[in-house]
Amino acid sequence: MPYIYLYGMISPSLVHILDDHFAFPHPNEYAEIKQTVPSIGGEAVNSAVILSKLGVKTKLDGNWLNPAKANQVFDLLKPFDIDISRLTIKENYGTDEVVIADRTTRTIFGNYAAFHSGVKQWNTPQEEDIEHAALVALDPFLRDESLLAAELCVKHKVPYVTLDCKFDSYLAQHAAALVISHELRDQAYANANMAEIFEQYLSHCRGLVIFTFGSDEMWYGRSGQKIKKIKPYNINPIDTTGAGDSFRGAIAYGLFKSWSDEQTLEFASAVAACVCLTFPHTFNAPGLEGVLSFMKANKRG
């Protein structure tokens, strides 16, 4: 059976949702917590969950899990058709996060700086997993191993979708689709003209390039094309956690289905909107029929 292989971040998470009457507080201010749930963060795992909900078989690999939180990850992933046989438990390693979300923002506390600057804490991707995959969703954060995964995709002619890579990187240049968030742009191209940066991506990259801007219009296009734009769905979000991860997962779904760029972007926008309307994020988001119903109810020109 065809499957999508996902390589990247998998993080045990505790999510606090603030009461609707409160926003994330300034220092020395107060906010009321409405609900707290155990969850999982990370681009790879949230993309895997949303793809499973859309009816796609997936295989997940990436960073090591701390034994204190591994069962939380395994228990939460049980309902989904995700092959987790590659996940590895190692004492004193792994990531952990606490998320505080209000209706429009999410604030994350974790150990990611130490994780990314320290010793390797992740598996090496297995060539056979990539060779036999129909498509790969690849996080760029695991150093040489992320690059190796991209090289294996190119070697075996397996298309991959990635995110937040500079335009002159191997991962960006060979991706079938690439999603660039404001976090990467603010960090790598501060004070630059974003239209010019977008043109740099189009000239360097062979695949679909997407710039996201939160609730504002997205830009997308391919080499030789002009910038195209699409608006996200206008919603009142409940929890924005995982919206970007699910959007990337839905882009992978569109490529998996050989859809047009326009159809893929419209669908991915709907998936992200549906995730923002549920709590906790991808775990209670609707499946394919629910997303299609949302699109029908919110039909756009």
CATH code of 179's domain = 3.40.1190.20
Task: Work out the widest C-alpha separation in the chain, in whole angstroms.
Answer: 55
10 Å Cβ neighbour count for 47?
33
pLDDT of residue 101: 86
User: Is there a domain that residue 106 lies in?
Assistant: no
Looking at the predicted structure, is the pLDDT value of residue 273 above 90? yes
Q: pLDDT for 85-111, tens place per residue?
A: 999 999 999 999 999 988 888 899 999
Q: How many domains does the chain have?
A: 1
What is the C-alpha separation between 39 and 243, in angstroms, rounded? Answer: 14
Q: With respect to residue 246, please indicate whether it lies within any of the assigned structural domains.
A: yes
Residue-wise pLDDT for 5-51, tens only, equals 999 999 999 999 899 999 999 999 999 999 999 999 999 999 999 99
Distance of CA 142 to CAs 20, 56, 64, 246, Å? 36, 24, 11, 20
| Confidence grade of residue 241 (pLDDT, cut at 50, 70, 90) | confident
At 164-184, the pLDDT tens digits run 999 999 999 999 999 999 999
Q: Is residue 104 a part of any domain in this protein? A: no
For CA atoms 89, 90, 94, 100, the dihedral sign is positive
Residues with Cβ < 8 Å from 151, sequence gap 6 or more?
A: 170
Report the pLDDT value the prediction gives residue 301, as an integer from 0 to 100. 62
Token digits for 273?
A: 């909107």
- Please report which residue ranges of 78-181 form alpha helices under DSSP H: 112-117, 127-131, 143-155, 170-173
Start-to-end Cα distance in the chain: 36
Residue 79 lies in a domain: yes
pTM of the complete model? 0.94
Nearest alpha-carbon partner for 245 in 34, 41, 32: 41
**How is residue 1 written in tokens?**
């059976």
Residue 257 placed within a domain: yes
Residue 243 located in a structural domain: yes
**Structural domain harbouring 54:** 3-10+42-93+118-297
Give the span between the Cα atoms of 126 and 286, in whole angstroms. Answer: 31
Note whether 46 and 33 are within 8 A (CB): no
Q: What percent of the chain has pLDDT over 90?
A: 88
Q: Which residues pair with 38 in a beta bridge?
A: 14
Residue 112: inside a domain, yes or no?
no
Averaged confidence pLDDT in the chain: 95
Residue 299, pLDDT > 90, answer no
pLDDT in tens, 120-151: 999 999 999 999 999 999 999 999 999 999 99
* Spatial contact of 271 and 248, defined as CB atoms under 8 Å apart: no
Residue 32 lies in a domain: no
Query: Using an 8 Å Cβ cutoff, are 259 and 251 in contact?
Result: no
Query: Which CA distances in Å does 122 have to 139, 171, 276?
Result: 12, 18, 29
Please tell me whether residue 5 adopts helix, strand or coil conformation. strand
